[in-house]
Chain A
Amino acid sequence: MTYRSSVPLYWRLQKAKYTLVGTQCITCRSLYFPPRSVCPSCRSKGFTKQHKFTPSGTITTHTVIRTPPEGFESLAPYVIAMIKLDEGPLISGLVVDTPEKIATGKKVTAVFRKISEDGKDGIIHYGLKWKLVE
C-alpha cells in the first residue's frame, strides 16, 4: 500500500476538505486556510483554533490542466484556479465550469464533489470544488 491508498492520510483532512474548516491565530487573529496549527507570524505565541470559512471567493488567476497525474486522467482537461476566499486566504481549487467561462474576478461558490478515487476498489476522496456564481 502506498500513501495514495492510505485511508488515515485522507481521513484526517476531511473536516477541512468537506466543510472548509481552517484555523485562526489566537494572538493576532489571522485566518488560515488551509489550516495551520501554528501561526507563522506569532510562532510560539501563535496557537490556532478552528474557524469555519464561508464557501465563497473570487478567482484571481487560473489554468487548465491537460496532462493529468495518476487518478485524474479522465477528468482532464480540468480547471484549477487561485481563489481568494471572501475572508482573505488564497487557495488552490478545482473549478467545475468549462475553461472558456473562467476569468479573473469572477465569483465562485463551493460545491461538494468527488476529487479522486483510489482505483475501482479503493476509497473515494470527496471534497469541495468551485463553481461560478451565475
Chain B
Amino acid sequence: MIDMPDGVGIVGYGCYIPRFRIKVEEIARVWGQNPVDVKASLGIEEKSVPDRDEDTVTISVEASKNALARAGISPQSLGAVYVGSESHPYVVKPSATIVAEAIGAGPAISALDTEFACRAGSSNIVLCMGLVKAGYIDYGLAIGADTAQSRPGDALEFTAAAGGAAFIIGRKDVAAHIEGHFSYVTDTTDFWRRHGEDFPRHGARFTGKPAYFTHVREAVTGLLQKLSLTLDDFDRVVFHMPNGKFPLAMAKELEIPLEKIKDSLVVCKVGNSYSGSSLVGLCKTLDIAKAGERILLASYGSGAGSDAFAIKVNGRLDEIRNKAPKTDDYINRKEYIDYGTYAKHMNTLKGVTA
C-alpha cells in the first residue's frame, strides 16, 4: 500500500561537502588520546571542515545548484525553499531567503528555516511532499546542511563535520518516487544547545538506546506497518550517521544485511554533517542505485525524532545523475589540515575578529 500514490518524489538531488579534512589522528594528538581507540569506538577516519568563508548558507546554495542541474528545471519553478540546520548563520534572519536569491528562486515562494537537530533536512522533504501532493506547488526545495560546532576536546569533535544536501520534490519527471513516510518524535533531550551558548551539550551514553536507536527503530517500524512492507522489500538502507557505529548497530538490530547499508556510510570519510548526514548518505545511494531498487531512509534528530521514507528508484535516475558532481567527487576531493588551521576555520580561537 503506497502512501503517496500520486507520484510525488525526488526530481533532482545534490550534495556539497567542503574540501578540507582533519584526521582522527590529528585531533587525538592534540588531546592526548589514542587514535586507535577513537577509531575503534567511533568507526570514523576523518571529517570534513568548512573553509573560513563557508557556512550553512553557502553549502546549501552549492547543493541546491546541483539539485537544480539534475532536476533540469528553472529555479523560478520552485514554490518553496526550506533550509534545515542547527548552524544557521543568523539566529534571527532566514538562511532560506539568501539561498533562494542566490539560486534565482522567488520572490513568490514559501521560504523558511527549520531546526530539529539533525532531522531538519528530512522534515523539510516531508513539508515539500505535502505541498506538492496538495497541488499547492509544483516543486519544493528541501535542504539539510550544517557546519557543525563541537566543543574542543569533547568526543563529538571527532565527528562533527560540515556538509549538506538538497532535494527537489515534485510530481513531474520523478526519478525516485517517495512511496511513503513515517515520523516518530518524543520529548527526549539527548543533545541540546541553549541560546547564547557556542557549543552543544549531550547525554553521552543516553544518546544511544533511548534516543537514536528507539526513534529510528520506531520510525522504521511505523513506516513498514503503514506501507505493508518488510525490510526484505528494501535493497538499500541509509540511516543517520552520528558516527560509523550507530548505523551499523541499528542495521544489526533490525537484521539488515551489511551489504545493504555499507555503501551509504559516508561518515567514515567525511564525518557527521548533522542536518546533512543522512541526506548526503541518500545522495550517495542515489548516485549508484539501479532502477527498480527501493531505498529505506531514516534520519534522526536529537530532541528527538526520526523520519523514515520508502523511496523507489526508476529509470530516470540514470538520465539525471551525471548532470552534477557526485557524492564521491566531493568525498574524494580533499586537502588535509592540522588542528591549528582547523581551529582557525571553526572560529574557536579567542580574539579573532574577522
Contacts and interface: CB of A to CB of B under 8 A. Distances in A.
A–B contact via C-beta, under 8 angstroms: yes
B89 A112 contact: no
A129 B54 CA distance: 11
B316 interface: no
Select the residue from A18, A119, A120 with max chain B CB neighbours within 10 A. Answer: A18
Contacts of A115: 53
A114 B345 CA distance: 13
B352 A96 contact: no
Interface stretch (B98-106, B169-177, B204-212, B244-252): B98-106
Majority SS at the chain A contact face? mixed
Interface stretch (B57-65, B132-140, B223-231, B295-303): B57-65
A19 B61 CA distance: 11
B54 A114 contact: yes
A79 to B, nearest CB: 12
B201 interface: no
Contacts of A111: 58, 62
Given A114-B53, A117-B354, A119-B354, A74 B89 contact: no
A75 interface: yes
Contacts of B62: 111-112
B193 interface: no
B344 interface: yes
A96 B333 CA distance: 14
A71 B354 CA distance: 5
A14 B53 CA distance: 17
Q: In the complex, which range does the number of interface residues on chain B fall in? A: 20 to 34
A38 B344 CA distance: 44
Select the residue from A70, A71, A112 with max chain B CB neighbours within 10 A. Answer: A112
B353 A75 contact: no
Interface string A71-93: 11111000000000000000000
Nearest to A118: B354
Contact of A96 (B51, B98, B102): B51
B101 A15 contact: yes
Contacts of B45: none
A70 B283 CA distance: 40
Would you list the 9 A-B pairs with minimal beta carbon distance, nearest first? A112-B61, A113-B53, A114-B53, A18-B102, A71-B354, A73-B354, A112-B58, A113-B58, A112-B102
Given A114-B54, A124-B57, 9 more contacts: A15-B101, A19-B102, A19-B104, A73-B353, A74-B52, A74-B353, A75-B354, A112-B61, A112-B65
